[in-house]
Structure 1
């Protein structure tokens, strides 16, 4: 049967399983760190077991209170955030938050961040022996902290050094999250690949700011923050396209994904999996809508295996 997309319906259920550097996912839809809490917050709205992977919010060695308020402001087609990696610290996460995720059948990826290279190595080693952690996402790209974060991700040599420290501390899959706030994202990707990364997450937020014209002052307490949402999608798709052509690592693509069509764009550009972020704030079921839409797209276009679509726009 011909469909509105011009394809034909394949009645067999398509194969959705993907692999990110040794981390097996039942489907390509994950959550973007910092937009889904620690998972349990969204359990009343969706069945977490249906996710391809759960990426929890950023974890540091010690608890962090985060930045001063205001921390969030809506912008045209997106939001600016300056949370500042507020989190309870790795020990509280392991002891009190991680066990609650054991009841779900999905890989848990922990986003880690630090002020120093040594911080990243210590976090990797501590989480390596934590039951229930499937992989690590290395945050070297957060734009709203004063130390670490984007300072590491904007320097290819430093990005590689952090990656080596994490690689030395764990046998779990290491996925490095890249910043778009660089001259050449391909250069950074190449360096972390040589340093031992198993995969890439891209992109993190773009650095931006907003000014209150009545008060004549910056809106955010931290002045600048990270721009996310649909406004950044063209930048993110371009970055995935460029890195896919030059670096042979699987990519989790993200940045402005709201619909299944958005997700398929990333996959065609070279992403093996995708992460839904800001859309979760508007629609708590956004991940499920994207997953259902990808499945429908594959059926209507006669695609048997999701991996057939990865990078297909390059061919």
Structure 2
């Protein structure tokens, strides 16, 4: 039965085969090593690395995480060792984990994105996830993923250097996320992942000032799930590339909702901080649901809520 369930859950994204549709989301799973202390991370469909940049980043100063009702606000600032260090030191260890490796890439300029993609394309990562929620330092700090025209420009440029399947991660802060998705596909995106965090803030009433040094930060967690689900549903209706659903997923029921909305796979993020075993529980829950409902292949329910 176990072997049959594994077969039923196999998922294909851009000719890359995943054991199942559950992926650990960027920024919440490190490079997988920490979670290996809890279970065999090779059971996951894939691991998306923490956000990488061309050069090493120390991240933001001050408070970086703040809990809010049904969610988490983060201001990490893409702290990471840089692409070269990742390829030399972290990627060899990740390859031994026996799961799909997706490199999440950020940048402050189109040139940084392009150079990062060149380096990652020559490495052993399986896919690249382009984080266009990063602030464009040459345009006053507005994120690349706010205006469709800017996103089209960066994706077009990056695609010319990319030798791996390119996933573009969309921001819910976009002016029009459906138009953004369509433009990214026209620019060459092989797949899309959505959504990234919402722009948010918190105020310390005793210190009489914002909690975060940068004032604004990113909201994730179960509070955003209904909005994320709606956006995935809308985008899946308008594009013909695989879509990875992200946003507040913390149970197998949440994951199945995204799949029924049209997602090919899901990424689980904040829930890993609450329960390090959550990804496995979601995988097992999907299997049990399929067995109970007489579903032989997960393709039977993909997008079913849109038919």
> Do they superpose with TM above 0.5?
yes
2:48·2:102 contact (CA, 8 Å) conserved in 1? yes
Moved more, 258-267 or 158-167: 158-167
Match of 2:191 among 199, 204, 207: 199
What residue is the counterpart of 1:50 in the other structure? 43
What residue is the counterpart of 1:36 in the other structure? 29
Distance 1:50 1:128 in 2: 25
Distance 1:17 1:175 in 2: 19
SS of the counterpart of 1:175? strand
Shift of the 182–170 alpha-carbon distance from structure 1 to 2, 3 Å rule, reads closer
Match of 2:255 among 256, 263, 267: 263
Higher relative contact order (CA 8 A, sep 6+): 1
CA deviation map 1:36-90 (0-9, x unaligned): 0011111011211101011000100111111111111000001100001011101
Distance 2:26 2:226 in 1: 20
- Residue ranges of structure 2 left out of the alignment (5+ in a row): none
Match of 2:117 among 115, 124, 127: 124
Distance 1:182 1:101 in 2: 32
Distance 1:57 1:201 in 2: 15
Tell me the matched-pair count: 304
1:166·1:174 contact (CA, 8 Å) conserved in 2? no
What residue is the counterpart of 2:59 in the other structure? 66
TM-score (norm 2): 0.95
> What CA RMSD, in Å, does the superposition of the two structures yield over aligned residues?
1.8
Give the CA deviation at 1:307: 1.4
Moved more, 172-181 or 300-309: 300-309
Give the CA deviation at 1:287: 0.5
Give the CA deviation at 1:12: 5.4
- Residue ranges of structure 1 left out of the alignment (5+ in a row): 1-8
1:282 aligns with 2:274: yes
CA deviation map 1:118-153 (0-9, x unaligned): 11111111111112x0000000024xx573886100
